[in-house]
A and B are shown apart, each in its own frame.
Chain A
Amino acid sequence: MASLDRVKVLVLGDSGVGKSSLVHLLCQNQVLGNPSWTVGCSVDVRVQDYKEGTPEEKTYYIELWDVGGSVGSASSVKSTRAVFYNSVNGIILVHDLTNKKSSQNLYRWSLEALNKDSSPTGVIVSNGDYDREQFAENPVPLLLIGTKFDQIPENKRNEVLTRTGFLSEDFNAEEINLDCTNPRYLAAGTSNAVKLSRFFDKVIEKRYFTRDPSQMTAFTDRKRFNFKSLHYD
């Protein structure tokens, strides 16, 4: 398998939000029975039919790289993690709907993955601030997934959905809220399944069909305004 043929999507988020369960559900269409700590990175492969149902239908293998850890890890862990962020074609940001901090940490996760400078030992070069303009023109497609949806009581659902709505605006990404132990959320025909397919199709398109070099500029070139989002506490 030459490296030219790969489609690589990162799955990022805090420890315990359910990334491994999510990846297992996306790739094996089965619920993960015994989740355990992810050490380092675990990869799985999803078979995706690009443009399903049309005459141009083609099968692609999408690699989902589930990187474990937390944003507060030691810098030695962060530098080692950075080797996995090379040549990424899409990012899935996972947060726990019952834990607000995990949603807030997603800003730091996305910065960590996208601002990676391509120096030998993975030194991260950024000023650490969140810049909304950057996400609006970001060449890498993002998808926001909220887990443990079933653990939110009915009366709190609206509040949570408003909050995640702001989050998806900030990232300029689609959002899906589900429960990783219930495959019903991603059953064929649901709006979630449609959003998922759209995301993967977009990733494949950007990878293979739009090779516009001007779109591939890295984040570090854009240090314009520091527009801090006012939506979250």
Chain B
Amino acid sequence: MFTSQVLFFGFGWLFFMRQLFKDYEVRQYVVQVVFSVTFAFSCTMFELIIFEILGALSSSSRYFHWKLNLYVILLVLIFVVPFYIGYFVVSNIRLLHRQRLLFACMVWFTFMYFFWKLGDPFPILSPKHGILSIEQLISRVGVIGVTLMALLSGFGAVNCPYTYMSYFLRNVTDSDILALERRLLQTMDMIVSKKKRIAMTRRQMYQRGEDQNKQTGFWGMIKSVTSTQTGSENLSLIQQEVDALEELSRQLFLETVDLQATKERIEYSKTFQGKYFNFLGYFFSIYCVWKIFMVKFWSQHISFILVGIIIVTSIRGLLITLTKFFYAISSSKSSNVIVLVLAQIMGMYFVSSVLLMRMSMPLEYRSIVTEVLGELQFNFYHRWFDVIFLVSALSSILFLYLAHKQAPEKHMTL
């Protein structure tokens, strides 16, 4: 049991080093340790569910491990990670650098306050429990995590078929890309020539300014004022043109990247791996449509196998999405904060997966989950998940439809 935890820890460590922090120097090892610990305990929870089904290990030892795991994860998610997030954010702000610890504690207390307030509008607890019980904490973590999961699943359910199914891929040819690239280079040339004019004009003004400082007398002063005036008016005009052209060049660049990515996706779809994913895409889109319409038809066991597949693909998908997100927004200053935020999201995501999985598990295995997690209102979570999932899926459909409509029109103007 503990060996597998060490294994997961090692895997999280490696993932961190190889993928996330490939381009950055690791100076604060705390971040890496926290990330790996969160990952390790999250994966252990899944492992425990599988052991539950298979009946491995004795029932009491399973119970013990569940409790231990739960305590550790809650400790990490509610105390350790938010505190470090606050600490690193505060360290980045130069003004507060001296009293880092103090401000970090303040941030943490604010977080705890909002975290507690979160529980009030939701009917998640029976009034029997005290303030500092496990149920209070889990319920709140569960709400946040479930919302997150539902949003991501809703979007993923719609996006996955859209991305992989060749039906939706627009036809992009090499000449389209070449034409866009040519336009991009032409725009850059125009920017360059305008900037050369600005530099030339500025230099002339500077040199004339020096000459004119030597000119004395009434007429000399008048002449100097008028010539610099027209000079600077010209400059600001050209500068505005340059700004507009630079904006255009950025848009052209992004469009070209988009076209290249589509072209690569088309090529990928022709390979064997691509065809396999295409098939999977159809399969999952059918499953997702089924979920959207909530047909309670098939037996629990088939849905449990699907749950197993979903666990594996969702872990993989989550890690990939986190990596992409991380590359897109991080810089050497904020990388620590972002990794910790990702660790927090990952932890909450996994905890709520366990909560929700109860729904898909056959009846006989639900007992231990119910026993360990106490008397939470599970039905609330299921309904909440379904509602958010529906909202997210529908808005994603709308969003993707609009984006798809717009794109062909843009390229018609080439």
Contacts and interface: CB of A to CB of B under 8 A. Distances in A.
A83 B185 contact: yes
Interface string B178-193: 1001001100110111
Given A76-B257, A77-B257, A101-B23, A61 B199 contact: yes
Interface in A33-87: 39-47, 61, 63, 65, 70-77, 79-80, 83-84
Contact of B332 (A1, A16, A47, A76): A16
A70 B23 contact: yes
Contacts of B250: 39-40
A76 B177 CA distance: 11
Contacts of B178: 120-121
A175 interface: no
The range of chain A's interface size is 35 or more
Contacts of A61: 196, 199-200
A75 B262 CA distance: 11
Contacts of A76: 257-258, 260-261, 263-264
Contact of A74 (B196, B249, B261): B261
Interface residues of B, number: 38
A39 B253 contact: yes
A102 interface: yes
A41 B253 contact: yes
Contact of B25 (A41, A47, A74, A99): A99
Contacts of A117: none
A14 interface: yes
Contacts of A16: 331-333
Given A74-B261, A80-B256, A102 B199 contact: no
Nearest to A84: B188
A47 B206 CA distance: 13
A43 B188 contact: yes
B24 interface: yes
What DSSP secondary structure best describes chain A's contact surface? Answer: mixed
B192 A63 contact: yes
A110 interface: no
B103 interface: no
A72 B195 contact: no
B386 interface: no
A6 B263 CA distance: 33
Nearest to B249: A40
B284 interface: no
A15 B198 CA distance: 28
A84 B181 CA distance: 10
B255 to A, nearest CB: 9
A192 to B, nearest CB: 22
B402 to A, nearest CB: 23
A96 interface: yes
A63 B191 CA distance: 11
Given A16-B333, A120-B174, A72 B249 contact: no
Contacts of A41: 188, 249, 253
A78 B263 CA distance: 14
Contacts of B184: 40, 83
A96 to B, nearest CB: 7
B254 interface: yes
A198 interface: no
- A40, A75, A98, A120 interface centre (most CB from chain B within 10 Å): A40
Nearest to B333: A16
B243 to A, nearest CB: 11
Contacts of B260: 75-77, 79-80, 121
B203 interface: yes
A59 to B, nearest CB: 8
Contacts of A40: 184, 249-250, 252-254
B52 interface: no
A71 B203 contact: no
Contacts of A79: 260
Contacts of B258: 76
A107 to B, nearest CB: 13
Interface string B34-76: 0000000000000000000000000000000000000000000
A105 interface: yes
B111 interface: no
Interface in B92-138: none
Contacts of A223: none
Nearest to B246: A42
Nearest 9 pairs of A and B residues by beta carbon: A40-B253, A76-B260, A76-B261, A16-B331, A45-B195, A39-B250, A80-B256, A80-B257, A1-B193
Interface of A: 1, 6, 14-16, 27, 39-47, 61, 63, 65, 70-77, 79-80, 83-84, 96, 98-102, 105, 120-122
Interface of B: 22-25, 174, 177-178, 181, 184-185, 188-189, 191-193, 195-196, 198-200, 203, 246, 249-250, 252-254, 256-258, 260-261, 263-264, 327, 331-333
10 contacts: A27-B199, A61-B196, A61-B199, A72-B23, A75-B264, A76-B258, A80-B256, A80-B257, A80-B260, A83-B181
Given A40-B250, A83-B184, 6 more contacts: A39-B250, A39-B254, A40-B184, A80-B256, A80-B257, A105-B23
